[in-house]
Amino acid sequence: MSDQDKFKVVINKPACCGYGVCAEICPDVYKLDENGMVYVEDEFVPCGMEELAKEGADACPQSALKLVAV
């Protein structure tokens, strides 16, 4: 990933089972609601957080998260 890459988080809400692995790995991007389900405050990954955000998405046991280049 270059410094020019910008990514958007895409969440497949029905696939989320609330494991919370994403939020443990990258709490600055992935948040958990009162039911333990993932959400993001901003769908765009902050500059400098791309690698951690990708790691968090890749760690999801249900593959409920992906990063899309924009």
Please, are residues 26 and 55 in contact by the beta-carbon 8 Å criterion? Answer: yes
- C-alpha distances (whole Å) from 30 to each of 14, 23, 61 are 16, 5, 15
Q: Where are the domains of the chain?
A: 16-69
Nearest to 23 by CA among 51, 45, 55: 55
What kind of architecture, by CATH, is found in domain 16-69? 2-Layer Sandwich (3.30)
The model scores a pTM over 0.85 = yes
pLDDT tens, per residue, the chain with 70 residues: 455 679 999 999 999 999 999 999 999 999 999 999 999 999 999 999 999 999 999 999 999 999 999 9
Angstrom distance (rounded) from CA 31 to CA 37: 8
Residue 69 φ then ψ, to 5°: -70, 135
Query: Dihedral of CA 55/32/40/68: which sign?
Result: positive
